[in-house]
């Protein structure tokens, strides 16, 4: 497993516990973080926080659906990286070679706010 060179990840206890499970730790050199993993976790936390903040009736049982919803919504939407590299396709289109099914997002009962941006050159859904 690749990790940061942080104090937790480089501690002897951490390594010993992972070794018991058959996992070998390979820390990155100091000052070179696992940026993409950390950024992904931060993004997911922000998405879930937004869902919680916009849902007055949010309960403990909604955690897993909120996390699943956030991940699926991100995978269904093209972003700046996929737009540039894969000509506007979403991660689902790139990885699974299929159009995302957006109807399930219309049925979601958690979260009361949806923000969408329509590209200026494409004012209608295709």
Q: Please tell me what DSSP assigns to residue 6.
A: -
Mean pLDDT value of segment 20-34: 73
What was the pLDDT predicted at 31? Answer: 60
Q: What is the pLDDT of residue 4?
A: 67
What value does the mean pLDDT of the chain take? 75
Q: What is the mean pLDDT of residues 66-80?
A: 83
**What pLDDT, on a 0 to 100 scale, did the predictor assign at position 30?**
63
User: Could you tell me the pLDDT band of residue 94, with boundaries at 50, 70 and 90?
Assistant: confident
What are the start-end ranges of the E strands in 1-126? 2-3, 26-27
Q: For the residues of 16-51, what is the DSSP string, one character each?
A: HHHHHTT---EEPPTT---HHHHHHHHHHHHHHHHH
Q: Maximum Cα–Cα distance for the chain, whole Å? A: 57
Percent of the chain with pLDDT over 70: 67
- How many Cα atoms within 13 Å fall on the side-chain side of residue 54? 14
Q: What is the pLDDT of residue 126?
A: 46
């Amino acid at each position: 497993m690749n990790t940061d060179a942080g104090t937790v990840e480089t501690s002897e206890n951490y390594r010993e516990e992972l070794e018991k499970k058959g996992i070998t730790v390979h820390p990155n050199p100091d000052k070179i973080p696992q940026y993409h993993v950390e950024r992904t976790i931060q993004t997911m936390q922000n998405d879930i926080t937004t869902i919680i903040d916009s849902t007055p009736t949010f309960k403990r049982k909604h955690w897993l659906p909120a996390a699943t919803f956030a991940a699926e919504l991100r995978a269904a939407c093209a972003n700046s990286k996929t737009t540039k590299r894969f000509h506007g396709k979403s991660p689902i289109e790139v990885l699974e070679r299929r159009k995302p099914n957006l109807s399930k997002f219309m049925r979601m009962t958690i979260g009361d706010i949806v923000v969408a941006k329509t590209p200026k050159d494409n004012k209608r859904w295709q």
